[in-house]
Amino acid sequence: MTQPKIVRIGGASGFWGDSSVGAPQLVNSGQIDYLVFDYLAELTMSILAAARLKKPELGYATDFVTVAMRAVLKDALAKGIRVVSNAGGVNPQGCADALRALADELGVPVKIAVVTGDDVMPLLPELRQAQPPVAELQSGAPLPAKVVTANAYLGALPVKAALDAGAQVVITGRCVDSAVTLGVLMHEFGWQPTDHDQLAGGSLAGHIIECGAQATGGLHTDWQDVPDWAHIGYPIVECAADGSFTTTKPAGTGGLVAPQTVAEQMLYEIHDPAAYLLPDVVCDFTPVRMETTGPDRVRVHGARGRAPTGSYKVCATYVDGFKTSAQLTIVGFDAVAKARRTGEAILERVGELLAARGLAPFSATHIEVLGSESPYGPHAQPTAAHVREAVLRLTARHPDKVALELLAREVAPAGTSWAPGTTGAGGRAGVSPLIRQYAFLLDKARLTPAVTLDGAAVSVPNWPPALAGKAPAAPEIAASTDVKEVAPGAGATEVPLIRLAWARSGDKGDTSNIGVIARRPEWLPLLRAQLTPERVRAYLAHLVAGPVVRHEVPGIHAFNFVCQQALGGGGMASLRNDALGKGMGQILLSMPVRVPAGLFPQETKETP
C-alpha cells in the first residue's frame, strides 16, 4: 500500500537577528525537504530602506547570506533541500546577487528565483489623490507626508510559481510570514484557489513555524518544563495533502513540542481566530484540534478556510521626530524611590534648559523603574517597591534631535549629583528617528507580483476574483454547564489565573493580542465566566486605553483577547520598555480568579 505523501518543512528563523544555529540544525537533522526563513517585521523594513539609501546594493537581511546560507547552502543543495526566504526586504534582487556571489565562491550551481511587486511607494502620489481617501486601518488617519517604506503583504502564489519553475532558492520581499510555507505546500500538493480548507491548514502550518523556537517551547508559560534551552530544537512541520500536519523538532534537540506549546503559538498575533485574513485565504482556526501522537509530536488538523478578500494589507512606515532612551542603575536602600526622583529631576532640569534655548518641551516622556514591577501598575507586589537594586529607564520624544541630545548628556551627571548608589550609566544614549507604522488596504488589482528565475521571467497566474467584503464574525458559542461560576463565600478560593491557564501575548501596531488556553478543557466554562472582556479591560486598565474583544477558540479550549490602544503607540513609537506587549500575557496570568475548593488535583501546577 502506498504511503500518503508527506512534505517536511523546517522553520529556521523567526526574525532578523534570530540564532545562527537554526539552519544548520535543521539541515543536518535529515528530517526536512524544505528550509524556510522569516526575517521581516514592519520596523525591519524601514531599517532596510535606510541601509539601501546609504548603499544601493543593500536593503536585504544580510545574515541570510553571510551567516545562514554560508553555513548550509552546499549541504542543503547536496541533500535536495530547497530554500524559501523573505530575506529580500526592500531589495530582493540585491539579496539574490549576494547569494549568487556566495554560491560562486563555494563552487556550487544554484537556481535562484526572486519575487518582487510588493513595493507600493511608486503608487503613493496617485493614492494621495484617491477618493475615498486612504485611511489608516485603526485610527482612520490620512496618509503621512513623509513615508519611508510602503509594502504590501503578498501571498504564496509567487512562491509556488517560482518552485514550479524549478527554483532551488526563492527570495521574496514583503509577504505574509506564513506564505513561505504555504507556497511550498501549494507547489507540492497542487492546491487550487478554491481549496480553501487546505490553504487554511497550510497557512496554519506556516504560522506555527514562522517564529522559530516559539513553537518548540520558546516563551512557554511553563518555562521550567522546557528542557535544554541552549540546544532548543527549531520547528518542523510534516504536512499532508488534506492540510493537516504534525509539528515536531530535530531528534536529540532540546525544547518541548506539546499541545500547549503549539496552541500558544497558534494564537500568537492572529486577532480574530475565526477570520484570520491572508492574501490567499481567510482562515478559521476555531475548529482546530491538537493531539499528541508521540514524544515531541503534535498533530494539528481542522482548519477551515474561505475565499480571500479583494485587498492586500499594506504596511507603511514614516518618520515622526526623534526618540532617545537612557538607563541608570540605582543600588541600596529605597532604590525605587531614588530612581524615580532621579528621573524626575533630570526631566525638570532639561525642561528648563530647553526653554532657555528656545526649544519646545518634549512631546512625550516616560519614567519606568525596572525591577519594581512597573508594568503591573496597581497589581505590583508591595515588596517590589523596596528592592535594593533598580534600573531607571528614561525615554522621551521630540521633533528636534538637538533636544534629545541635550537630554542624553544630562543623564550621566546623576552619578555624582544626587542619589547614593547611582551607577551603570554606560555610554551616552543615542538619538534615533522615531519610526511609526501606518497600515491600509489596497485593491489587489493595483499590484502585479513578479517572479524571475536566474534573470528570466516566470509567469505568475492570478487567483480568480476574490470575494470582497468583511469576513463574518465568529459564531456564538453557548457556555458549558460542566463547571458553574463560583460565587464568593460558597467555599471558593482565589488563585492566580496561571493555575488554570497558559498564555502568550504579542503585538500588531498599537494592539496587543493575548491568547489564553485552559489547562484542562473542563475548566473553560469557569474561565469564560470570569475572564470577561470587561474584567480583562479593567485589570489591564493601566496599560490598555481602548476596547478589549474576546474571541472563542473552542477547538483548543481557549480565548483570544484583542486589546486596542494597548502599547503606547506600539513599536518604536512607544516609550514603554515592553513596546511589543510580550509581557502582557504574563501580567494577565496574575489576575485572581475564584475556583471551587478542591478543584486542583495533586499534580496541578503550584502557585508561583
Please give the C-alpha separations between residue 159 and each of 9, 73, 181, 242, 544, in angstroms, as whole numbers. 14, 19, 9, 20, 39
Residue 499 DSSP class:
G
The angle at the Cα of 65, spanning 252 to 434, to the nearest 5 degrees, equals 105
pLDDT recorded at residue 470: 42
Q: Which residues have CB under 8 Å from 158's CB, separation 6+?
A: 115, 117, 172, 175, 183, 449, 450, 451, 460
pLDDT (tens digit per residue) in 17-34: 999 999 999 999 999 999
Nearest to 157 by CA among 111, 206, 199, 96: 199
pLDDT recorded at residue 42: 75
30: left (phi over 0), alpha (psi -120 to 50) or beta: left
Q: How far apart are the C-alpha atoms of 294 and 390, rounded to whole Å? A: 45
Confidence of residue 504 (pLDDT cuts 50, 70, 90): very high
pLDDT (tens digit per residue) in 564-596: 999 999 988 899 999 999 999 999 999 999 999
Tell me which of 604 and 250 has the higher pLDDT: 250
Q: How far apart are the C-alpha atoms of 317 and 320, rounded to whole Å? A: 10
Q: How far apart are the C-alpha atoms of 260 and 500, rounded to whole Å? A: 13
Domains contained in the chain, CATH given: 7-118+153-308 (no CATH), 316-437 (3.30.70), 492-596 (3.30.70)
Confidence of residue 464 (pLDDT cuts 50, 70, 90): low
Q: Which of 173-182, 429-438, 468-477 is predicted least confidently? A: 468-477
Question: What is the value of pTM for the model shown?
Answer: 0.94
CB burial readout 137-147, b (16+ within 10 A) else e: bbeeeebbeeb
Counted residue by residue, the chain has a size of 608
Q: How far apart are the C-alpha atoms of 35 and 584, rounded to whole Å? A: 32
